[in-house]
Structure formats: structure tokens, C-alpha cells
Amino acid sequence: MDTSLEQILQEGKLLRQVNALIVAHLRDNNLNQAASAVASATMTPLNVEAPPNKLLDLVAKGLAVERDEASRGVSSAAIFDSGTAIPAGYGSVPIPRTIAIDFSAVQDTKGSSKSFPKHETRHVSEHKNVARCARFSPDGRFVATGSADTSIKLFEISKIKQMMLADARDGPVRPVIRTFYDHLQPINDLDFHPQNTVLISSAKDHTIKFFDFSKTVAKRAFRVIQDTHNVRSVSFHPSGEFLLAGTDHPIAHLYDVNTFQCYLSASVPESGVNGAINQVRYSSTGGMYVTASKDGVVRIWDGITAKCVRSIAGAHGSAEATSASFTKDQRFVLSCGKDSTVKLWEVSTGRLVKQYIGAIHAQMRCQAVFNETEEFILSIDEPSNEIIIWDALTAEKVARWPSNHIGAPRWLEHSPTEAAFISCGTDRSVRFWKEIL
């Protein structure tokens, strides 16, 4: 066969495979209108079969190879042009698991709960006022905490672990590697850029601030977004090109990171008594995002059209929905509310799949979080000042541990890559918890 003809046939076959993966990816993420449009334009069957998250898996592998090439001398432009070197390997996130827990498949699983491994904990730092929030970097190498004292502390996880060793011979280890002071009012939320050494913070002073943590001397933000409202929550799009801000306004504000232009969805959900957004989080691919609101509603939005595709009214009765986040496979949303319940919802139907009870949290803006394997869920019991852990699949309580804070923790955040988490307290302290090996 003629070489050029063979090449054309091979390219055509590859193009058909790519189109099929795109259609399957859009369809499996409930973006049916987009899937139909692509299927029609490329003459691809809408019901084409592909393994779950196959496109995501291939892109993650490709990006890993690209990053590896970049670390060996192949240049790539930094989005923020900060002119500083990125620590080796920053942003190298493990390829997402393609096998996810199917919470909807098992109905009666009582008696088969797994045991949560023992952890040790250490007080690692203290703010001058309440420690209000925390966030791990996507690669699990760093964690940042924000406080009512308007400061942000950045910790290096390897230094925290070194600090926890009993036989540290080289004097005291200081796990706080950066402290940023640039807000005028308490910090509400934090997030890390998925590829660059940039940390963002949102605060009651109506701003979102960008900090370059590769610079050892920088204490202040190198960029600032001035919003019109108290910015209660922030979430980077997985591409790093956009970010969402959940504010006192009932609709999340979408910002282009490069131009700082703000976009608002034209899809206005039903108005609540108080639609202020307590938390906003993107799904792992950015195809959707979820908001947890003060009016008790959990809303799921199309990440491309910014249309509200599912509204779970009364998700936590008349109480506030305080946190909401997607499972890694984007099929379920975990929410927490001031009605003292933690709930798991199926994205495609809005159906309540699991309910986790036995932890009272009616006062603070409490979190419920998965551990890194999504086998367990962690939250806080305010009256007993304990951390409660459930088996995610059976919904049975498997552990309750003293938090070691004076007064209940305000925030829990679990590492995305290992058996470790952070608790932030109204007692101003930050504690690190890690599995005892």
C-alpha cells in the first residue's frame, strides 16, 4: 500500500477513536446536549462504548509524560509569568483511579464495615486567631491554612513528618515555609493552582488574592481580584485557566485567570431566603461544579454552560448546606449541613444514596470529607469535640476520636494522596494527623 495512503488511513482511525472518546466522556458526565452535538458533527454513534474515564486517564498520562519532558529541559510557558522556577515535580498528580467505589450498587452491607487505621496527631502551628480553613496542594506536598487573623500559613508536608519524628537530631524543624499577610479581613477559603506554584485565598474583604509560593521573600499577593461580595469559597478549574468564587451572591462568579474577566450564569436558580454560597467545588474534570448554599440547597451546574442542571432543594432541611464536593468519578456529591447530617447524592438523578448520622454540627461551617481512597468519610461532632469517621459504603460509624483541640475543630481537610489530614481549631491551632505505620 502507498505509504501516504496508509498514513491517511491511520490518522482517520485515530481521529475516529478520539471523537468516540470525546462523545463517551461528554455523555458519561451528563453533558448530553454537547455529546449529541459532537456525535452529530463527527458522525459518531451517541451510544459508543468506552471504559469509564478513559479520556481522562489518557490525558492524565499524556500530561505526566509532558511534565516529565519539561523537567528534563523541554520548556513550557508559565501561565502567570512569575519568572520563578517551580519546585521539581510540583503539580505531578498521580493518575486518577479509574476504578471507583459504586455507592449505588450495594444496598444492605451492614456488618461489613472496614476499620479506619489508627492515626497519630501533632500540633504543628498556631495562628493569632481562629484557624478557619485549610487546603492541600493537588500533589499532597503542601497544605495551607487561613485564619481570622488575616494570615495564611503554608506548610511543607515532608517537614511536618520530620517534625513528628521523636529522634529529630538537627534541632527544631519548622514546617511553616511561608506566611502571607495581605488581607484586611478573615480568610474564608484557599486553593492551589493545579500546575503552578500559586496559592489563592478568598476573604471577607471581598477579594481573591494570588500568592507565588516559589518566592521565599514574597509576603504579599502578586495579583488581586476585587469582587463585589464577601468571597466565601474558591475553586480552581482543573485546567488552571478559570476559577469559581462562591460569595454572598446566590450564583457563583466565574473568573478568567488570565484576564480577570467575571462571568455570571444567565441560569438563575429559584430564589431562596438566603442563597449565599458556603462552598463551591469543581469536579475532577471541570465538567461540572457544585454549590452548597445557606438556603439549604445543593446545586449542580454544567461546567461549560454554567447552567444549573440539578437543584436538590432542602438537601439539609431548612438548615444551611455547609460543604459539597464530588467523588473522583463525578457520579456522586457528598454534602454536609447544619442539620447535623452528611449525605451522598447521585448526580444523574439527584437521589439520596447514603446518609451518615451521629455527628452534631449545627454551629460552625462544618466540612465532611472523604479520605484519599474514598472508603471513609470524616466530620466533626461539636458537643463532644470529636472527629467522627464512617465507612463510606456501609454508612456505619467506625471511629470517634478526641480532636485534641480546645473546643471543636472548625475545619477538616484530607490529603488527596495519602492517609493524612489537617484539623483547624477555634483554639487557633493547626493539627496534622497521619496514619501510624
Domain ranges of the chain: 119-435
Contact 410, 364 (CB under 8 A): yes
- What type of residue sits at position 65? V
Residue 389: C-alpha distances to residues 115, 134, 138, 375, 432 (Å): 10, 19, 23, 10, 16
pLDDT at 407: 87
With a threshold of 0.85, does the pTM exceed it?
A: no
DSSP label of 320: P
Helix, strand, coil percentages (3-state) for the chain, rounded to 5, are: 15, 35, 50
- Residue that is written with C-alpha cell 495562628 in the block: 127
Query: How is residue 151 written as a grid cell?
Result: 494570615
CATH 2.130.10.10 fits 119-435, yes or no: yes
pLDDT at 53: 74
pLDDT at 150: 92
pLDDT at 167: 62
pLDDT at 346: 95
pLDDT at 96: 47
Taking 70 as the pLDDT cut, the residues of the chain under it are 1-12, 60-61, 63-100, 105-111, 166-171, 266-274
Task: Tell me the per-residue pLDDT of 73-131, one tens digit each, with 9 for 90 and over.
Answer: 433 334 444 443 445 556 655 544 445 677 776 555 566 889 999 999 999 998 999 99
pLDDT at 7: 66
What long-range pairs does 299-305 form, CB within 8 A, spacing at least 24? Answer: 299/269, 300/333, 300/347, 301/252, 301/265, 301/267, 302/31, 303/237, 304/31, 304/34, 305/267
CA distance 292 to 248: 12
| Stretch (H or E) spanning 181 | strand 176-181
CB atoms within 10 A of CB 11: 10
Backbone angles phi, psi at 320, to 5 degrees: -65, 145
